[in-house]
Amino acid sequence: MSGAAPEITLSARNLTRRFGKRQVVHDLSLELKRGEVLGLLGHNGAGKSTTLQMLTGCLLPNFGEIEICGIDLLRQPVLAKAHIGYLPETPPLYRELSVNDYLTFVARLRGMQPGKAAAALAQTRQRCGLEAVGKEIIGTLSKGYQQRVGIAQAIIHSPDVIVLDEPTIGLDPSQIRDIRNLIRELGDRSSVIFSTHLLGEVESVCDRVHIMQEGKLIYDDTTAALASYGGEPGHLEENFIRLTETQR
């Protein structure tokens, strides 16, 4: 756990995934260190969500290996998954439960003891701005609040690896700002990997950027390097489009 070099919390090697004959993810490798926030960019259908599903054990790769904090996710899934927090594209909410009941259930599901779960619940509600809605039924909350509950369930057990699939979708600008700050804060202690379409988000939050195109990783560098890609500093969006178009 200790040492000069930051610990590698997530490492995936040569991930390949097919659905029938269609190859969705092709020989993808990535690594994530503790304290790092990684943005996964790409057009619709580039294979981002499939990649994240594989990293969280929801989907098995056809080939490749995944290690979470040194534990093989494919051989010891139960042990490895205890270190993961995952927010899928659609937040996995039991709409009939109250926010408190739901988050307590999730904390216990991820292996927390009842006493610790209660403390974690209070802290997570405060971090995600859910103090006022603890007793409300999730189905009655607005989409923004539901998204926050979704993020809360991914972080309540203080996982080492946090995987967020488009976490700011459906939020208003001030909520987006709050969530970005939260991701930045989470990135101090854990590793965060999230997919997004918003380039501004990458710029303000991520340490590193991966760009996916048709299932392949076509770019892996720091956010600053993407901003000055091809010697034209400043225009993240143009550089992204240029990059993805030249690879087509």
Partner 1 sequence: MIRLLALRELRSLFAMPSTWFILAALQFIFAWFFLARLEAFLEIQPQLAQLANPPGATITVAAPMFNTVALLLMMLVPMFTMRLIAEERRNQTFALLLSAPLSGCHIVFGKFLGLLVFLAVLMTGVPLMLYTLALGTALDHGLMLSNLLGLLLLTASYVAVGLYISALTQQPIAAAIGALAVLVGLWLADIGAMAEDSPWHFISPLNHFQNFNAGLLDSGDAAFFVLFSAVFLLLAIRRIHNNRIYG
| CA 152 – CA 133 distance, rounded (Å) | 13
Spatial CB neighbours of 164, under 8 Å, sequence gap ≥ 6: 86, 87, 151, 154, 183, 192, 193, 194, 195
| CA 35 – CA 189 distance, rounded (Å) | 5
Q: Does 53 bind partner 1 (CB under 8 A)?
A: yes
| CA 39 – CA 30 distance, rounded (Å) | 12
Site map (CB under 8 A) of partner 1, residues 12-41, x = contact: -------x----------------------
Tokens matching residue 213 = 């195109």
- Binding residue for partner 1 (CB under 8 A) from 35, 92, 134, 170? 92
Cβ contact 58:84 at 8 Å: no
**Least CB distance from residue 233 to partner 1, whole Å?**
39
Q: Does 101 bind partner 1 (CB under 8 A)?
A: yes
**Mutual angle of helices 114-127 and 143-155, in 10-degree steps:** 140
Q: Does 51 bind partner 1 (CB under 8 A)?
A: no
**Least CB distance from residue 236 to partner 1, whole Å?**
30
- Binding residue for partner 1 (CB under 8 A) from 45, 72, 75, 79? 79
Tokens matching residue 150 = 């979704």
Q: Does 58 bind partner 1 (CB under 8 A)?
A: yes
Total binding residues toward partner 1, as defined by CB under 8 A: 33
- Binding residue for partner 1 (CB under 8 A) from 34, 81, 208, 210? 81
**Least CB distance from residue 163 to partner 1, whole Å?**
8
Least Cα distance to 89 among 133, 132, 40 occurs for: 40
Residues forming contacts to partner 1 in the complex (CB under 8 A) are 19, 53, 56-60, 77-82, 84, 86, 88-90, 92-97, 101, 105-106, 108-111, 137, 153
